[in-house]
Amino acid sequence: MTQPPLLAAMRFRTDQVVRIGPLALRIASDVPVFPALHYFSRAARMPDATVPDIELWCLSDTDPGLPADTTARARNLAAGYYVTDHFGPPVRISSSGNRIVLVGDRLERLVWPYVVKYLLLRHTVSAGGLFLKAAALAAGDGATLIVGRGGGGKSVLVTGLCRNGATFITNSHVILTDGAVQGVASTMRMRPGPWLDQAASTAALDPSERLVDPYDAFPRRAGAAVPLHAVWIAGFRAPGEHDVQQLPPDEAVGIVEQFAFGLNVYRLEEDLLDLCGGDYRAFAAQYGRMRNQLHAAVRSCPTYRVRSDVQHPAHRDRLLRLLSQEGTS
């Protein structure tokens, strides 16, 4: 099929291939130094010659006049409703094959908050596996997922442990396939505190947060998928606190389903229905497959509620010992 003349003649001022879990994503924009790239770790950047699995074109200054998608998400974007509680100027989305074109202003507000999550969901629908909102780290030959609400202390917990011997996997997104954890190499959004080196961070979209690159922050980082051995539910509440309790499987499954299952957390049900061609029965089959896989994964390993001030050396050492015990076959 012949491309429209304007599309064929596009000249990008930002053009970078990044790795998002199992996918190579080309991010191209007519905006120089496109701010969306700040959300990807340096470890995610791939050589210029890399052939991408997917292309994302973000056009703020040039409109090639492509027809908008007819999905529920496209209608929402056209009305300025992005995802969950994010709103902004109208955006047109046009998809064809493995290319997604966004046309609008300040498109960095959509790349990480929506597009990355959508692509990870789409991948797991077609290839199997699960997309989870979770941090993950490793000790020995086993990975531990860290799940919890926003502001619950996941990033602080990961930072405290990975600066003191644990191996960093990811701070935000996980693909779980055949019982193994693969992370997405993103930067970490952190709020100010003793755990944050302001000089080694950059501004985030949210002015109350900073971005820290794990590539610079942690000496040990996992490059390959690591078998899942444990799940921690993080909920730090007070300085000096240390309370670790093992949870029964039924409790653990309910918590993880609501706070880590990407489809639920990021309100991607409309996207899944459109990926299923609007067929509710196909939607139910996909949802059931992912839900059953999630339950089986959580029930296969110990799950702990972890409320601990990891800045306290004695508490941190207890957590490192627990991590090592669960990370050894």
Backbone angles phi, psi at 110, to 5 degrees: -110, -25
CB 239 within 8 A of CB 67: no
Length reported for the chain: 329
Instruction: Enter the tokens of residue 222.
Output: 């996992």
CA of 290: how far to CAs of 260, 271, 296, in Å?
Answer: 12, 15, 10
User: Which neighbouring-strand residues pair with 167?
Assistant: 138
Q: By C-alpha distance, which of 67, 83, 55, 25 is closest to 270? A: 83
Bridge partners of 244? 306
Cα 69 to Cα 280: distance, rounded to the nearest angstrom: 20
| pLDDT tens digits in sequence order for the chain, 329 residues long | 455 555 666 789 999 999 999 999 999 999 999 999 999 999 899 998 899 999 999 999 888 999 999 999 999 999 988 776 678 889 999 999 999 999 999 999 999 989 999 999 999 999 999 999 999 999 988 999 999 988 778 888 998 999 999 999 999 999 999 999 999 989 887 766 665 555 455 666 566 677 888 888 888 998 789 999 999 999 877 788 899 999 999 999 999 999 999 999 999 999 999 999 999 999 999 999 999 999 999 999 999 999 999 989 999 999 999 998 865 43
> What's the pLDDT score for residue 189?
77
The pLDDT value given to residue 2: 53
Torsion angle of the four alpha carbons 166, 170, 175, 179, in this order, in degrees rounded to the nearest 10: 10
Alpha carbons 241 and 68: distance in angstroms, whole number? 52
Per the listing, tokens 């949210």 go with 206
Cα dihedral: 38, 63, 114, 31 (round 10): 0
Q: What pTM was computed for the model?
A: 0.90
pLDDT recorded at residue 297: 96
How far, in Å, CA of 285 to CA of 67, rounded? Answer: 31
Bridging pattern class, strands 54-59 and 99-103: parallel
Helical pair 280-299 and 249-259, crossing angle rounded to 10 deg: 130
